[in-house]
Chain A
Amino acid sequence: MSSSVGSLTISQLKEAYLKGSLSPTDAVSELINEIEARDSDIRAYISIDKESALESAKNADISKPLGGIPIAIKDLINVEGQNCSCASQILKNSYTSTYDATAIYKLKSNGAIPLGRVNMDEFAMGSSTENSGFHITKNPWDLSRIPGGSSGGSAACVANDTAIASLGSDTGGSIRQPASFCGVVGLKPSYGTVSRYGLVAFASSLDQIGPITKSSKDAALLLSAISGKDSLDSTSIDNHDKDLLSKLDGNISGMKIGMPKEYFTDGIDSEVLKCVNNAIKNLQDLGAEIIEISLPHTEYAISTYYIIATAEASANLARFDAVRYGNRSPDPENIIDHYIKSRSEGFGPEVKRRIILGTYVLSSGYNDAYYVKAQKVRTLIRNDFKNAFDKVDAIISPTAPTPAFKIGQMSKDPLEMYLADIFTIAANLSGICGISTPCGFVDTSDGKSIPVGLQILGPPMKESSILRIADAYEQSTDWLSIKPYR
């Protein structure tokens, strides 16, 4: 199995192409075979557009930075000619993209091949991929557990070696948390770094596209390819480094890393804490200086997030009116009935819940009390990070307070699931960047070993710092070489 195409990193596959030991056509067709043989238990994929991938492989230019490299795409990013369904029944087989998202356009310009659409929580709303309108994706390390979410498919396919790398999106931790639960690397860029054009919007002030990979080096390669200011997204920023990889020199001597005292409290699973504490020792051995810091408004982050994210979602999802695209309910009585029936039949429960909550917090009489109040607290949370980054280069924590939970364990209580996002959501509220990289394993009571993720947060536009720390850590451990299958 170790020689399978799917087990390669981007760098290794590039090397194989340049040496001539593998051609893009052989690699892509072999990878498709591997997906067909090995995805049936995990179900990371929703669909694979074989013909177009093979066609692109035939014409691949391996001299380009990502020439001939297949990348799995989360089902809410538009790829021209493919069904973009956001894992929702409202778009199933009823919306074919007529254009490429900017991130896809850039991937293709750099030679990469979009290969397969991967599962997610419907419209990216969830932390487990259980909210997919199609099927549940399982965690490759333990099939009774969730892969995390909302980019659960993007993380599971990389962990299961049925993808070289993937794109996900992160609104409150949706790249970092599944990467943590699946034992792979997930990077959420600073807000605006990757254009949101062609990313189906969940919460526009929080959404970012980012890579899920088998190493921080691969994450650097992918981010260099997809980042940059875009006239089609007026919130995009000029944060493009075409050679991030060269910044990953393994040297973190003298870097200051903050440990927020509000994060290291009773809420963390003791085994997770052990892994993170070991990682901190490791970083000290590599020459980093660990400093205790304070993020005083941490306890308000979840409330702030779920008000702002649902408010934005309720506005964004108003566009699903079954007029221009999407599944229309047959024989409505009038136009209002047309909207109500099509939306009620098409959206799943979590999406409805969030639209209703968002509509409520924006409704007359409540707007100031909830939405505007949350925006003000957002300012305070952002200031916490600004102050912290005056003292440190990066901030470290567990990515999630626990390892992956059991399928069904939290599905009856949405609030409990929301509370588990505590360490990831503040980064989206503040617009800073963050990465999750594996830092150990926890033994479960039923004899499985499941991964734990270390989160490293950095100031806006300092992806090079957090990637350098994560890469230096990866070089000093071998977590990424451990595979979920034998």
Chain B
Amino acid sequence: MSDSSIDVKYVANLARLDLNEEEIQDFTKQLNDIISFVKQLERVNTTNIEPTSHANAVVDVIREDKLRNGMGSDAALKNAPDQNNQQFKVTRVVE
């Protein structure tokens, strides 16, 4: 594992979060403490150990290929912050 400390501002932007100066300071210290702690895992020998991604390994859960009703556009749009023409309206994407 790398010994570089976390660049909180950079990672926050990846997650589409903006932090103020105080948050950056607090989070940098707190997250570096947590990251130094979790580096203890380096000590564990995991040679030839398979990763577990789920408690129950489920493979290929399939259902019958039959048409099912969805919730419908009225219900889907019910919570939309903004909408137009039966569609979600968002901030301009293309300049």
Binding site for B on A (CB under 8 A): 94-96, 98-99, 190-192, 205-206, 231, 234-235, 237, 297, 299-300, 302-304, 306-307, 314, 318, 321-328, 332, 334-341, 343-344, 347, 349, 352-353, 355-357, 359-360, 363, 365-366, 369-370, 372-380, 382, 413-415, 418, 428-431, 460
Task: List 6 extra interface pairs beyond A191-B56, A237-B56, A347-B17, CB under 8 A.
Answer: A95-B79, A323-B81, A353-B31, A356-B27, A415-B33, A431-B54
Is B81 a contact partner of A322 (Cβ separation < 8 A)? Answer: yes
Main secondary structure of the interface of A (DSSP, over half): helix
Is A192 a contact partner of B49 (Cβ separation < 8 A)? Answer: no
Which residues of B have CB within 8 Å of A460? 55-56
B58 contacts chain A at the CB level, 8 A cutoff:
yes
Among A306, A325, A377, A418, the residue within 8 A (CB) of B81 is A325
Instruction: Write the nearest CB–CB distance from A201 to chain B, whole angstroms.
Output: 13
Which residues of A have CB within 8 Å of B93? 334-335
Is A334 a contact partner of B37 (Cβ separation < 8 A)? Answer: no
Is B56 a contact partner of A431 (Cβ separation < 8 A)? Answer: yes
With CB as the reference atom, state the residue of chain B lying closest to A99.
Answer: B71
Which residues of B have CB within 8 Å of A94? 79, 81
Is A356 a contact partner of B12 (Cβ separation < 8 A)? Answer: yes
Is A377 a contact partner of B14 (Cβ separation < 8 A)? Answer: no
How far is it, in angstroms, between the C-alpha of A460 and the C-alpha of B56 when the chains are bound?
9
How far is it, in angstroms, between the C-alpha of A428 and the C-alpha of B35 when the chains are bound?
21
The 8 closest A-B pairs by CB, nearest first: A431-B55, A375-B51, A325-B79, A234-B61, A191-B55, A328-B81, A376-B46, A303-B38
How far is it, in angstroms, between the C-alpha of A190 and the C-alpha of B54 when the chains are bound?
12
With CB as the reference atom, state the residue of chain A lying closest to B36.
Answer: A415
Is B52 a contact partner of A379 (Cβ separation < 8 A)? Answer: yes
Is A352 a contact partner of B51 (Cβ separation < 8 A)? Answer: no
One digit per residue, 1 when the CB lies within 8 angstroms of any chain A CB and 0 when it does not, for chain B 30-71 equals 110111011011101010011111111010010100000001
